[in-house]
Amino acid sequence: MGRRRKKVVRIPKKRLPKFFSCPKCGKETVKVELFRDESRAAAGCSSCGFQEEFPVKPAQGEVDVYCMLTDRVYGSSRRSSVTNTKNA
């Protein structure tokens, strides 16, 4: 009689997404392109046409650029609403 073989449990590795959700239209169509030799990055939505460019450092990745994009979009709308309430 032989012994029973152990069942091998493979844990899938988590990967970063290729497309992110757009802060303007809400669809998952934002693609981030890094141009490391020029030290810049471009993020653009293929659905609504929203595009932004950012200066990047060598250690930054696509997720960091997407976070800068959302900070710029949500931060600008928050600042304009705060300035409107102060003037009123």
DSSP string, 12-75: PPP---SEE--TTT-SS-EEEEEEGGGTEEEEEETTT--EEEEE--TT--HHHHHHHHHHHHHH
pTM of the model: 0.71
Domain boundaries, the chain: 19-82
CATH number of 19-82: 2.20.25.190
Specify the pLDDT at position 76: 65
Q: What is the pLDDT of residue 28?
A: 92
| pLDDT the model gives residue 77 | 60
Report residues of the chain scoring pLDDT below 50.
none
